[in-house]
């Protein structure tokens, strides 16, 4: 039987300028039985900016206590409470606490909804000047150099525009690693302090951006990187690569798929051409 009284509300908060808050945010904060906040002090400042006074209980909910707090909040929702979850900026669960609570509510067959609001991902895409018809969000890159290099190597042929978050003290080394993995001329945009007083968007090749960032960059940062251009290889060369992989022990189907992805050729055309070449 589905619970109909309790509700989890994921409430997006402004990424900088409090005037960007959705009108519903104030309404939800005022009526909630419980407001779970990543930082209760920042929540109180936001409430002051919005001119709203929460009537319910305010509790802390962040990465260090969410495992312990989640069952408590689920129990409150199951008992009929309206729980509003807010993080420091943006949408809860998107590179912020919240995903654990969402899945727990779904597992308990509890209702949830969200209050939409400002998005650093979408705003950075819009102002980057890079293609936005297809994109992917990759969150924060790994902190360790080796893991970061492997992550970027795996994304080197990603055709969609990519969006990352990064901390200011790591942005220079991250841009350098991107230039090494994606190529120094791959286009990118570093968007910092979006919607704030010192908003800035720096566009250019990744190597140029890495040089710019070497002197230090401050603020909240979103990085947008152009996807890889398709590489269309000569069919005869691609067929030779397929047959070489088959000779090394791969199945023809798998070898054709791998070379097709790397070359930009049709997998079926490549497979049929390889079959014909083996028959001659």
Q: Mean pLDDT, to the nearest integer, of 116-141?
A: 97
How does pLDDT run across 204-260, given as a tens digit for each residue?
999 999 999 999 999 999 999 999 987 767 889 999 999 999 999 999 999 999 888
The pLDDT, as a whole number, for residue 4 is 52
Give the right CATH number for 120-225 from 3.10.180.10, 3.30.950.10, 3.40.50.450, 3.30.450.20: 3.30.950.10
The pLDDT, as a whole number, for residue 232 is 65
Q: Mean pLDDT, to the nearest integer, of 88-110?
A: 95
Closest CA to 36 of 77, 3, 2, 78: 77
By residue count, the chain amounts to 280
The pLDDT, as a whole number, for residue 74 is 98
Closest CA to 278 of 260, 257, 256: 256
Q: Mean pLDDT, to the nearest integer, of 153-162?
A: 94
Residue-range domain boundaries for the chain: 7-115, 120-225, 235-279
Strand partners of residue 139: 164
The pLDDT, as a whole number, for residue 3 is 42
Residue 157 pLDDT grade (very low, low, confident, very high; cuts 50, 70, 90): confident
Q: How many CB atoms lie within 10 A of CB 205?
A: 17
How does pLDDT run across 29-59, given as a tens digit for each residue?
999 999 999 999 999 999 999 999 999 999 9
State the fold for domain 7-115: Cobalt-precorrin-4 Transmethylase; domain 1 (3.40.1010)
The pLDDT, as a whole number, for residue 2 is 43
Q: Where are the alpha helices (H) located in the chain, listed in sequence order?
A: 23-31, 40-50, 66-78, 99-107, 120-128, 145-155, 171-182, 206-213, 235-247, 252-263, 267-279
Distance of alpha carbon 276 from alpha carbon 262, whole angstroms: 21
Rg (CA), the chain: 24
2-11, 149-158, 176-185, 262-271: which range is least confident on average? 2-11
> Percent of the chain beyond pLDDT 90?
90
- Confidence check: pLDDT of 1 > 60: no
Distance of alpha carbon 110 from alpha carbon 104, whole angstroms: 9
Q: Mean pLDDT, to the nearest integer, of 128-141?
A: 97
The pLDDT, as a whole number, for residue 73 is 98
Residue 169 pLDDT grade (very low, low, confident, very high; cuts 50, 70, 90): very high
The pLDDT, as a whole number, for residue 65 is 96
Residue 90 pLDDT grade (very low, low, confident, very high; cuts 50, 70, 90): very high
Prediction pTM value: 0.80
What 3-state DSSP class applies to 99? helix
- Confidence check: pLDDT of 173 > 90: yes
Q: Mean pLDDT, to the nearest integer, of 123-152?
A: 97
What 3-state DSSP class applies to 170? helix
Residue labelled with tokens 């400042």:
45
Mean per-residue pLDDT of the chain: 94
- Confidence check: pLDDT of 22 > 70: yes
C-alpha distances in Å from residue 178, one per residue of 7, 56, 101, 103: 42, 46, 33, 33
Exposure string for 82-111, b = 16+ CB within 10 A, e = fewer: bbbbbbbbbbbbbbbbbebbbebbeeeebe
C-alpha distances in Å from residue 140, one per residue of 32, 116, 148, 162, 198: 31, 22, 10, 12, 22
Q: Mean pLDDT, to the nearest integer, of 102-120?
A: 96
How does pLDDT run across 196-205, given as a tens digit for each residue?
999 999 999 9
């Amino acid at each position: 039987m589905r619970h109909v009284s309790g509700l989890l509300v994921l409430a997006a908060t402004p990424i900088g300028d409090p005037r960007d808050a959705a009108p519903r945010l104030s309404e939800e904060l005022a009526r909630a039985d419980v407001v779970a906040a990543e930082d209760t002090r920042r929540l109180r400042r936001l409430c002051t900016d919005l001119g709203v006074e929460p009537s319910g209980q305010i509790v802390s909910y962040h990465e260090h206590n969410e495992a312990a707090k989640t069952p408590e909040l689920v129990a409150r929702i199951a008992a009929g409470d309206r729980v509003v979850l807010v993080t420091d900026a943006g949408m809860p669960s998107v590179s912020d606490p919240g995903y654990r609570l969402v899945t727990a509510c779904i597992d308990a067959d509890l209702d949830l909804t969200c209050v939409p609001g400002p998005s650093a991902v979408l705003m950075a895409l819009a102002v980057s000047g890079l293609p936005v018809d297809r994109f992917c969000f990759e969150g924060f890159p790994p902190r360790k150099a080796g893991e970061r290099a492997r992550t970027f190597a795996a994304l080197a042929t990603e055709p969609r525009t990519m969006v990352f978050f990064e901390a200011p003290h790591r942005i220079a080394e991250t841009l350098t690693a991107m230039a090494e993995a994606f190529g120094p001329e791959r286009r990118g945009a570093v968007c910092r302090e979006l919607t704030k007083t010192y908003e800035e968007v720096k566009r250019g090749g990744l190597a140029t951006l890495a040089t710019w960032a070497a002197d230090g960059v401050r603020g909240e940062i979103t990085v947008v990187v152009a996807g890889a251009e398709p590489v269309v290889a000569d069919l005869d060369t691609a067929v030779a690569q397929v047959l070489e992989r088959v000779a090394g022990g791969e199945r023809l189907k798998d070898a054709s798929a791998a070379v097709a992805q790397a070359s930009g050729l049709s997998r079926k055309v490549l497979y049929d051409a390889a079959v014909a070449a083996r028959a001659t």
